[in-house]
Amino acid sequence: MLIDVEGWRKQKEEELKKSAESWGKQVLESGKEIALEPQSPWQRRIVHMVISEMEGVESESAGEGRDRHIIIKIKNHPSASLRTRKSKVETEEPDAENKEG
């Protein structure tokens, strides 16, 4: 059950949507990613939805538990792709069948 006292949650959602748009524009203008402060799951969901509707930027969640936060960055930024590929390569275990030796 969700109780919205005098429209508090609805007001917070609207404020968060405006902030998310502003953060997205800031990333587009500066070309630098932004790491937001930790947020609750419902707040992160709203930010992800707003950013997903914007051209040229994307968002991802990072961290664990209470430290979970959003990073907003330029979409398909080469360094982001390189970081993702590098971390995947470093963490993958070679198949026993494919080992040379």
Report residue 1's pLDDT band, with 50, 70 and 90 as the boundaries: low
Q: Is the pLDDT of residue 86 over 60?
A: no
* Domain boundaries, given as residue ranges, for the chain: 16-91
Candidates 1.10.1370.10, 3.30.1370.50, 3.30.420.10, 3.90.550.10; correct CATH number of 16-91? Answer: 3.30.1370.50
Which residues on adjacent β-strands are paired with residue 74? 57
Give per-residue pLDDT as tens, 3-56. Answer: 767 788 889 999 999 999 999 999 999 999 999 999 999 999 999 999 999 999
Of 34 and 79, the one with more pLDDT: 34
Q: From CA 13, how far away is CA 34, in angstroms rounded?
A: 20
**pLDDT in the model for residue 84:** 41
